[in-house]
Structure 1
Amino acid sequence: MALGLSLPVDTVLYLLLPMYAPQFGVSLAEAGLLLAANRLVRIAGYAWVARFCARRGDRLACSLAVAVAAACSVGCATLSGFWALLPLRLLWGLSFATLNLTTQALATAQAEGAARRSGRSRAVIAMGPVLALPLAALLALWLGPRPIFVLLAALALAGLAATRRLPSVSHAPVQRPRGWKLPNSLDAWSFLEGLTLDGLFIIGLSYLGKDLLPGNAVVAAGLLMALRYLAEILLSPLGGHMAERLGAERLLVALSLLTALALVGFGAGWLWSGAAVIVVLRALQLPLLPPIVARRNPGPARVQALAARSVWRDIGAGTGPILAGLLLPVVSPLWIYGVSALLLAWAALACARPHTNAN
């Protein structure tokens, strides 16, 4: 609930910043960097966040995260320019890391039913963005893009009522990883899923939609991005139930291959229909990774493994907006999304190979 109320601070910025970049005092390339910054800081920040939550307990850590999210939203409403907005994106990145890692750790605390709990969790988280995105798009046409973030700050602060219900006791200490390990199949899939679906796809939807529907693009993109979260509410619990019955790895491979086909169609010009298929498939995939990770890494190692997968996803999702800002103005979308689709399909097939707990 706390993450669902805070998340619109980020999702609405993904909608408005590429379309209204001059009003925020940034270029399109700088907008891509800003949207990537919150993910890039989490690459180093997840380990620190995991230790902080273990020492201080979920209640204090998540309450601080909600307060910081609200402050970042106020900053987006009042500050302009790349260097003024960059610290806000970095702080939001640590806030999201705290809330996201806590939700995954609580959902997978027991192996039985972890996929179902992960699906329900994703549905609750999506409720905030599914309401905020279309309203923000309409308000942007009336008030402009900046005042909306004052309202989103108040919405985020409502999450403090939810964090008070979290446990305050400390956890078992999270061990620091020893040395550098080569990425495994789940790492590669997490990286490419973040690169394509949370990076290239979202920025491409906003950027390409602006050209196809001038004047109404912000409303169309806002509705479709809201559909992405509505699909999570409706379909993520279904994905969790399907994983319990069919096997999470098998379902992950099948859905990823279908997503790759949809990405090719998106790049080929079927923008809105391709995007609609992608958001449905993404919603079904979201509950799958945490139970896979928890099963392959039983016991206290679960939290560190979840953090590691989140890091790789954030590396991809942080790289995606940067690549989108650089490539979309000069490279054919078919090439961009066709190549990324092939890589995602390859990574999904690699996840189906025999594995050990190290994977």
Structure 2
Amino acid sequence: MTRAEADRASRDASLVLAMTLPGDTVLYLLLPLHAAVFGVSLAEAGLLLAANRLVRILGYGWVARGYEVFGPRRACVVAVLAAACATTGYAVLPGVWWLLPARLLWGLAFAAMNIATQALATAEPTGASRRSGASRGIIAAGPMIGLLAGAVLAEVAGPRVVFLCLGAVSLLGLVFAWRLPDGEAVRLSAGGPRFALPRSLDVWSFVQGFALDGLFVLGLAFLAAQAMPEGAALAAGGALAARYLAEVLLGPPAGRLAERFGAARVLLVVTLASAAGLAVIGAGWLWVGSLMVVGLRGLLQPLPAPVAASRAPPEERVAALARMATWRDIGAGIGPLAAGILLPLVPAVFLYLGAAAVLVASSLHALRR
């Protein structure tokens, strides 16, 4: 694959995910705030938010093998259709046992699209960090707009109407999925197991998923509802949308910084600063700490894939990416479960300061080289 071909394929795969991802990110906002409307408890909401990641822990290998057989175009077309069905299901299905299959379907669909974005961005080593940064900027635009629009629409028409609209928007991803390559040049090589004992970077990925993708996101909605019962959806939605705005604005510069100074070095600095943001939340400054975390996420998101790809032999590149993604999903799947159970029982200061300390330790172990 030439550099120009890799640029175009990475861009199209990113647009596919940008169209479909709002159906997932908006659920993280609205489900904890409107759990009763969906017929679930807060603990069941945590289970549902974790389910899409938990199924990927088991399903990444199967999805990757399907991607190898069918190629990016057909894999992503199927994934878009599955994502649209899942998102529409959030609008019409009642209770945890009906919503759970929709979450599992979404998890497998995301796995295919996530493999496509990372594999195509790193298919050509030259410019991989730059493409990864541009990819995150494109992908983040969808959730950013979806969170803001979804928060407003939920206040006016209720949360279920939001997911009917997002299900329709997901289908726009078919346009870009059909433009993806469908040939041997971009097929993945198995390169080893998708699930294996964690290496140091995988441990970091697990902790990052637990703290920044799981505990932080569910905890933000929970703490916002306590801090300001009126308008909590708009406040939390604005904070989460700022996270994706940060990715839109800072993802491409982060990729360029990684090209210049090294992805691992930049990732270490950003992760330590993110841990400081969690500590600020634990100390009681919810919105200051939240803005720190969501802003730094814009710099962080493009960096792990180039780090993992650069440390692996060429024949093991995809396996390393899949293994890191799997351990991140384990952490991010456990995070909402732990938050849903512990936040009503344990003072937030202990949860957030503890998460910050573990994130610092794992970052220094994995990235200080």
Residue identity opposite 1:146 in structure 2: R
Which residue in 2 is equivalent to 1:41?
A: 55
Displacement after TM superposition at 1:353 (Å)? 4.8
Q: Structure 2: how far apart are the matches of 1:172 and 1:319?
A: 29
The total of aligned residue pairs comes to 353
2:327 to 285, 297, 312: 312
Residue identity opposite 1:215 in structure 2: E
Residues 1:348 and 2:363 are matched in the alignment: yes
2:99 to 85, 95, 98: 85
Which residue in 2 is equivalent to 1:19?
A: 33
Please say which of residues 316-325 and 254-263 is displaced more in the overlay: 254-263
Q: Structure 2: how far apart are the matches of 1:215 and 1:300?
A: 54
Which residue in 1 is equivalent to 2:16?
A: 2
Please say which of residues 252-261 and 227-236 is displaced more in the overlay: 252-261
Residue identity opposite 2:170 in structure 1: A
Residues 1:329 and 2:344 are matched in the alignment: yes
2:167 to 153, 160, 164: 153
Aligned partners of 1:37 and 1:93 also within 8 Å = yes
Secondary structure at the aligned position of 1:4 is classed as: helix
Aligned partners of 2:214 and 2:332 also within 8 Å = yes
Which residue in 2 is equivalent to 1:210?
A: 225
Which residue in 1 is equivalent to 2:7?
A: none
Displacement after TM superposition at 1:181 (Å)? 4.4
Q: Structure 1: how far apart are the matches of 2:188 and 2:212?
A: 34
Which residue in 1 is equivalent to 2:301?
A: 286
Residue identity opposite 1:204 in structure 2: G
Which residue in 2 is equivalent to 1:277?
A: 292
Which residue in 1 is equivalent to 2:259?
A: 244
Q: Determine what percentage of the aligned residue pairs are the same residue.
A: 52
Unaligned runs of 5+ in 2: 1-14
Which residue in 1 is equivalent to 2:144?
A: 130
Which residue in 2 is equivalent to 1:31?
A: 45
Residues 1:184 and 2:162 are matched in the alignment: no
Please show how residues 109-128 of structure 1 align to structure 2 within 5 Å.
109-128=123-142
Please say which of residues 162-171 and 99-108 is displaced more in the overlay: 162-171
Which residue in 2 is equivalent to 1:267?
A: 282
Q: Structure 2: how far apart are the matches of 1:12 and 1:219?
A: 12
Displacement after TM superposition at 1:175 (Å)? 4.0
Secondary structure at the aligned position of 1:24 is classed as: coil
- Are the structure 2 counterparts of residues 127 and 181 from structure 1 closer, same or farther at C-alpha, using a change threshold of 3 Å? closer
Residue identity opposite 1:285 in structure 2: L
Secondary structure at the aligned position of 1:23 is classed as: coil
Displacement after TM superposition at 1:243 (Å)? 1.0
Unaligned runs of 5+ in 1: 355-359
Q: Structure 2: how far apart are the matches of 1:333 and 1:275?
A: 14
Aligned partners of 2:201 and 2:367 also within 8 Å = no
- Are the structure 2 counterparts of residues 301 and 339 from structure 1 closer, same or farther at C-alpha, using a change threshold of 3 Å? same
Displacement after TM superposition at 1:298 (Å)? 3.1
Displacement after TM superposition at 1:300 (Å)? 3.2
Secondary structure at the aligned position of 1:174 is classed as: coil
Aligned partners of 1:51 and 1:173 also within 8 Å = no
Displacement after TM superposition at 1:176 (Å)? 4.4
Aligned partners of 2:33 and 2:221 also within 8 Å = yes
Displacement after TM superposition at 1:177 (Å)? 2.0
Aligned partners of 1:47 and 1:176 also within 8 Å = no
Residue identity opposite 1:82 in structure 2: V
Secondary structure at the aligned position of 2:36 is classed as: helix
Aligned partners of 2:200 and 2:366 also within 8 Å = yes
Q: Structure 2: how far apart are the matches of 1:257 and 1:346?
A: 9
Q: Structure 1: how far apart are the matches of 2:263 and 2:328?
A: 18
Displacement after TM superposition at 1:182 (Å)? 3.2
Which residue in 2 is equivalent to 1:162?
A: 176
**1:18-59, CA deviations, whole angstroms, 9 ceiling, x for partnerless residues?**
000010000000000000000000001111111111110100
Aligned partners of 2:206 and 2:331 also within 8 Å = yes
Displacement after TM superposition at 1:267 (Å)? 1.4
Q: Structure 1: how far apart are the matches of 2:104 and 2:252?
A: 31
- Are the structure 2 counterparts of residues 44 and 61 from structure 1 closer, same or farther at C-alpha, using a change threshold of 3 Å? same
TM-score (norm 1): 0.96
Q: Structure 2: how far apart are the matches of 1:301 and 1:44?
A: 20
Displacement after TM superposition at 1:234 (Å)? 0.2
Aligned partners of 2:84 and 2:167 also within 8 Å = yes
4+ aligned runs moved over 6 Å, structure 1: none
Q: Structure 2: how far apart are the matches of 1:13 and 1:3?
A: 16
**1:143-164, CA deviations, whole angstroms, 9 ceiling, x for partnerless residues?**
1110111110111000000001
Provide the aligned C-alpha RMSD in A: 1.2
Secondary structure at the aligned position of 1:183 is classed as: coil
Residue identity opposite 1:128 in structure 2: G
Residues 1:98 and 2:107 are matched in the alignment: no
Residue identity opposite 1:309 in structure 2: M
Q: Structure 2: how far apart are the matches of 1:205 and 1:190?
A: 21
Which residue in 1 is equivalent to 2:6?
A: none
Which residue in 2 is equivalent to 1:357?
A: none
Residue identity opposite 1:213 in structure 2: M
Q: Structure 1: how far apart are the matches of 2:136 and 2:56?
A: 20
Aligned partners of 1:111 and 1:291 also within 8 Å = no
Displacement after TM superposition at 1:334 (Å)? 0.8
